């Protein structure tokens, strides 16, 4: 049976945050809230969880996984941000954006897009998500929790439990109203901005 972990949306309790992190460090796969719906999350090096995410979402090899970071300094360890796009990325974080950038050697090869060697990164504007990443001490390997055949992320902990509770290890329930709109995805890997998907973030600064 899937485990539910209640974390306060405004003032995340360290005790319950640590419980979720313990699941992650034990090789678990969790569902957790962000500023653009729920996401599936695991440790970066967890190959089994990566395959579980692929299975749940029915993803192919072209899919960009996302590293959810707690701040810009952490983000800079895992992707190369060219000077030409630095200010734009900095100004848009934290927020509901995912940026596609070239990965550094810190990123496991299995997470990189095969041809371009890129990976998605983001800094969510959500206290629970940030608390989880800070306590973990490294970015969360993540993918927005959009089920096959759907176009919007899941937003309710109990619905996630009913739909995929037998496929994940824990669900973080922050009790607040989670916005069910995916991030705006911007590909910056070529040194200029290309909006791949328009979502919750205003695409205007990158058009």
pLDDT, one tens digit per residue, over 89-100 is 899 999 999 999
Q: Is this structure's pTM higher than 0.85?
A: yes
Q: How many helices (H) and strands (E) does the chain have?
A: 6, 10
CA dist list (Å): 156 to 32, 59, 134, 163: 10, 22, 24, 11
Contacts 24+ apart (CB under 8 A), 83-86: 84/191, 84/192, 85/188, 85/191, 85/192, 85/193
Cα separation, 157 vs 21, whole angstroms:
18
Of residues 19 and 87, the one with the higher pLDDT is: 19
Q: How far is CA 161 from the centre of its chain?
A: 19
pLDDT exceeding 70 applies to what percent of the chain? Answer: 100
Do 34 and 68 contact (CB within 8 A), yes or no? yes
Of 41-50, 74-83, 175-184, least confident by mean pLDDT is 175-184
pLDDT, residue 88, reads: 87
pLDDT, one tens digit per residue, over 101-150 is 999 999 988 888 877 889 999 999 999 999 999 999 999 999 999 999 99
User: Does the pLDDT of residue 176 top 80, yes or no?
Assistant: no
pLDDT, residue 191, reads: 82
Do 111 and 50 contact (CB within 8 A), yes or no? yes
For the chain, domains (ranges, CATH) are 3-196 (3.90.870.10)
Helix (H/G/I), strand (E/B), else coil: 178? coil
Residue 22 is classified by DSSP as H
pLDDT, one tens digit per residue, over 48-74 is 999 999 999 999 877 888 999 999 999
| 27: Cβ contacts below 8 Å, ≥ 6 apart | 43, 46, 48, 49
Mean pLDDT of 19-46: 96
């Amino acid at each position: 049976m899937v485990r539910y972990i209640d974390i306060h949306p405004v003032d995340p309790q360290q005790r319950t945050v640590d419980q979720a992190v313990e699941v992650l460090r034990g090789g678990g796969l969790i569902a957790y809230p962000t500023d653009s719906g729920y996401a599936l999350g695991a440790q970066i090096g967890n190959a089994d969880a990566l395959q579980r995410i692929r299975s749940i979402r029915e993803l192919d090899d072209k899919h960009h996984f996302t590293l959810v970071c707690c701040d810009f300094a952490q983000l800079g360890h895992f992707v190369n941000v060219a000077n030409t796009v630095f200010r734009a990325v900095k100004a848009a974080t934290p927020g509901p954006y995912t940026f596609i950038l070239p990965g550094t050697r810190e990123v496991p090869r299995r997470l990189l897009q095969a041809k371009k060697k890129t990976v998605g990164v983001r800094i969510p504007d959500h206290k629970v998500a940030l608390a989880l990443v800070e306590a973990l001490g490294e970015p969360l390997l993540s993918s927005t929790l959009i089920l096959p055949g759907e176009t919007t992320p899941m937003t309710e902990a109990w619905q996630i439990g009913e739909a995929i509770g037998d496929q994940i290890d824990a669900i973080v329930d922050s009790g607040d109203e989670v916005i069910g709109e995916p991030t705006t995805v911007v590909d910056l890997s070529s040194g200029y901005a290309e909006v791949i998907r328009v979502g919750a973030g205003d695409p205007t600064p990158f058009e």
